[in-house]
Structure 1
């Protein structure tokens, strides 16, 4: 299954690189949008994965059945705003879900020449080399943080996110905001970050990165510290030590009324 996913992503990555800076085509809720290339890549992934495996595909742009016992989940361009602006922090995400758990994952960052892959029980690889998520003595402990802009009336509202950002910064001054959940999760699995806090409720944003971090030896929960599931809102992940500290920080804040987006 990993070979089928990588073959499909190889084709998609060529389209991705050739069309960097594509203009918005479809406007979505909350100011989000898709480009023609988002649509083209998802069509390609659906065609190739379906033909190779016979399994259904659930994707950001064309939907599908998110509750299939076994099926693919795809995000053709995670970080579309970055992609349209020509900023390289964007990715193609593919995961195979089986009975509510990701079992195969590919996160490809074509503009960075970076690909992370994982199979459940088989570890995580970065450009073909096995990686383990661990803190390196003498290096800064960097944290990837999700968007700090949100509707004021929503869950994880803007003020709460910014309070959390400030609190996290007291313990971990090296914080990065990429604008892509998939990039944050993949780069945490690959060791660029020791932990991450993201707020997306979308399975296509989270599934691949969850498996990549787990297989690299990291700890993954939802933002409230509960076990991650396909219906979780947000991801809290990192090395065991960093995850535990992030969990303590979140527990010390007055939480929003609930943890739904």
Structure 2
């Protein structure tokens, strides 16, 4: 993906977006319990929607105000290209399924996408207080400290991740996920299969994990991590090796020394 510096991104905007996302994180944290909520599918889905509604009530307007003339991508599970211009792609509870099951792996994310390229992102983890930020050609940071991807160049030594993007994917997608996990278990050291994507991609950006792939175009789970990894020095493409954009059908983010080897394994699936 390209990260040419947008001329009109500045520290004031990053500060405003960070404040809005961190404030929304307070709302999501207050709704959290270590007990699972919901038994039936209807109850679980209801809890998920309630989380989304509560967070968006305090997040949407500050983001739109911070970037006049920006637009809002309504459905967080949608994929594919966005119309021209600037769009907020937000996940008010990234890892919502974990949140409602009493697990700690969830976050609030907000990413400004211009012409299908992420140009600014903030990912906040309310339980730890950690905030990841990135701007196009401005670097990636954790709590203000620069991030750098892994220096590994041996796929056999790599910790690699994947996961499903949403319930109800096609049977063919589920088949590809299974076959790709088998292939990567053979080629790599350890494979993590978990959700959400963003919480694996922040580890790739920080050099804790070495690569992440996904057979999906759900943009809200990928745009934040794509920018963080790219700005931390990683390589982000689709599984044909072409630069990734929000219009891409699939996704690979990796340390540059591993990307070609990972792509070779996955392109066969």
Range into which the TM-score falls when normalised by the shorter chain: 0.7 to 0.9
CA drift at 1:167: 0.9
Indicate the residue corresponding to 1:217 in structure 2.
233
CA drift at 1:148: 9.6
Note if contact 1:39-1:61 (Cα within 8 Å) is conserved in structure 2: no
Runs of 4 or more consecutive aligned structure 1 residues displaced over 6 Å after TM superposition:
none
Question: CA-to-partner distance for each residue in 1:85-108, whole Å, 9 max, x for gaps?
Answer: 111111211111122211101112
Note if contact 1:223-1:236 (Cα within 8 Å) is conserved in structure 2: yes
Structure 2: segments with no counterpart, 5+ residues: 1-12
2:164 matches 1:147: yes
Distance in 2 of aligned mates of 1:202 and 1:234: 9
Indicate the residue corresponding to 1:75 in structure 2.
91
Distance in 2 of aligned mates of 1:146 and 1:62: 15
TM-score for the superposition, normalised by structure 1: 0.84
RMSD: 3.1
CA drift at 1:196: 0.4
Q: Tell me: higher relative CO, structure 1 or 2? Use CA pairs within 8 A at least 6 residues apart.
A: 2
Note if contact 1:103-1:119 (Cα within 8 Å) is conserved in structure 2: yes
Distance in 1 of aligned mates of 2:234 and 2:93: 25
CA drift at 1:66: 3.8
Distance in 2 of aligned mates of 1:130 and 1:36: 35
| Match runs of 1:118-157 below 5 Å | 118-135=134-151, 141-147=158-164, 153-156=170-173
Q: Given the alignment, which residue of 55, 58, 66 partners 1:41?
A: 55
Indicate the residue corresponding to 1:172 in structure 2.
188
> For the structure 1 residues 129 and 39, does the alpha-carbon distance in structure 2 shift closer, same or farther, using more than 3 Å as the test?
same
| Match runs of 1:1-261 below 5 Å | 1-21=13-33, 23=37, 34-54=48-68, 55-60=70-75, 66-135=82-151, 141-147=158-164, 153-156=170-173, 158-253=174-269
Number of corresponding residues: 249
SS at match of 1:92: strand
CA drift at 1:160: 2.2
> For the structure 1 residues 19 and 159, does the alpha-carbon distance in structure 2 shift closer, same or farther, using more than 3 Å as the test?
same
Structure 1: segments with no counterpart, 5+ residues: 254-261
TM-score for the superposition, normalised by structure 2: 0.81
